[in-house]
Amino acid sequence: MSEKWMTRTGWTLSALYALFMVAASVAPKFLTDIGQQTMAALGWPEAPVPLIGALELVCMLLFLIPRTALLGATLTMAIFGGAIVTQMRADSPLFSHTLFSFYLGALMWAGLWLRDPGIRAVWPIRRRFQSS
């Protein structure tokens, strides 16, 4: 795989992640009461939904800035961990709801891994061939 292809693919995945976060996660928390209704249904009726949305937005922006991308990804995974635990606590379906944050996190990390050679140096994927 060429470096140019990996970087472009990484930025494409990162952009898809960011668009999803804005459209499905951040915007409903600020523009409608969907976020508050959802949190109430999950057992958090007094959740500070705008604060959660602001934290998600800050983490997403940190992720998109190359110098702070690792910090943004790490902080985002902390938020996703809380989302997973909340879904588990509410007995949500495992693969469609509970693990959705894991899937989104995997997309985010794949984008970062592809676009950043420093991340690939820390987490290399090695092919091992055995000769018979």
Q: Which residues contact 64 (CB under 8 A, 6 or more apart)?
A: 14, 18, 72
Write down the pTM of the prediction. Answer: 0.84
Spans of all domains in the chain: 3-115
Torsion sign (Cα): 8, 12, 14, 18: positive
**CA-based Rg of the chain, rounded to a whole angstrom?**
17
Could you tell me how far CA 2 lies from the centroid of its own chain?
25
Phi-psi group of 66: left, alpha or beta (phi > 0 → left; psi -120 to 50 → alpha; rest → beta):
alpha
pLDDT digits (tens, 9 = 90+) for 4-62: 999 999 999 999 999 999 887 777 777 777 878 888 888 888 888 888 888 999 999 99
pLDDT digits (tens, 9 = 90+) for 87-102: 888 888 777 777 888 9
